[in-house]
Amino acid sequence: MGLPLPRRLGMDDLVDAVDIMTQEFFDDPLWRHLLHDERKRRRMLPEFFRKFLQRGIECGEVYGAGRPLQGVAIWVMDRHGGDWISRPSEAAYMDLLLDPSLTSSSNARTIFSTLDALQLRHAPGPHMYLSSIGVAAEARGSGVASRLIKPFLALADGCSMPIYTETVEASNIPLYEHFHFKIVQTISVPGATLTIWSLLRCPRALAERKMVRGMGFEPMNH
């Protein structure tokens, strides 16, 4: 039996969720690149996450751990492949791209287009997508991230679905590798001192079959 999923957040959780995600991503390399000026970042990032999380909550994609809230994760179930491109929360990105305060609107478009292209390349069919995850500063190192990830791994395995995510923080990679994600591509974004790591986790049964074949054996059918 799989682990129970974290609770879906509602609009009454929005303020706390925005605070957690703003803390988590304030010094993120992507946001430091897009919003060099710390004052602009402090002003714009909460507004971005308010729009992003509000639309995600409306879609039932935002999950949380702890009362009071200690961590937030946005999980998207893409049942057909490419569905995530048109989901309502993507509008938050588009609002951001058009904001004149950005370092470079065209550069922002390039970065987000690159992220979309990577996901389409490595997860073209049905899959689960870990869009974002954040943990409150005072709760880091206490297992909150695991509580927001592990139940979805079991769900994905049960559905035989891969999970895709990406990161621009090298320090995040060991956490994902702990959960059997593999780096499938690493790219440097033109015109930015920014590296994107694409990570994919195969369903465990499928991953085990691939490992056996890689050793020169054919898995036995039961």
In a domain, 56, yes or no: yes
Tell me 222's DSSP state. Answer: -
In a domain, 89, yes or no: yes
Buried b / exposed e along 114-124 (16+ C-beta atoms within 10 A): bbeebbeebbe
Q: State how beta strands 62-65 and 71-78 pair.
A: antiparallel
Q: Which amino acid is located at 186 in the chain?
A: T
CA distance 115 to 95: 17
User: What are residue 105's phi and psi, to 5 degrees?
Assistant: -60, -40
In the block, tokens 């049905």 appear at 126
CATH code, domain with 180: 3.40.630.30
In a domain, 169, yes or no: yes
In a domain, 1, yes or no: no
CA distance 163 to 214: 21
Q: Is the peptide bond before 126 cis (omega within 30 degrees of 0)?
A: no
In a domain, 187, yes or no: yes
In a domain, 17, yes or no: yes
Contact between residue 181 and residue 199 where contact means Cβ atoms under 8 Å apart: yes
The count of structural domains within the chain is 1
Per-residue pLDDT reduced to its tens digit, 69-118:
999 999 998 876 665 554 545 566 666 666 666 555 557 777 888 888 89
Beta strands in the chain (DSSP E): 7-8, 62-65, 71-78, 127-135, 163-167, 182-188, 195-201
> Residue 72 is part of which domain span?
7-214
From first to last of the 222 residues of the chain, give the pLDDT tens digit: 456 679 999 999 999 999 999 999 999 999 988 888 899 899 889 988 998 899 889 888 999 999 999 999 999 988 766 655 545 455 666 666 666 665 555 577 778 888 888 999 999 999 999 999 999 999 998 899 999 999 999 999 998 999 999 999 999 999 999 999 999 999 998 777 889 999 999 998 655 445 434 444 443 443
Which residues fall within 8 angstroms of residue 132, CB to CB, at 6 or more apart? 21, 25, 72, 73, 74
In a domain, 220, yes or no: no
pLDDT more than 90, % of the chain: 54
Q: pTM for this structure?
A: 0.84
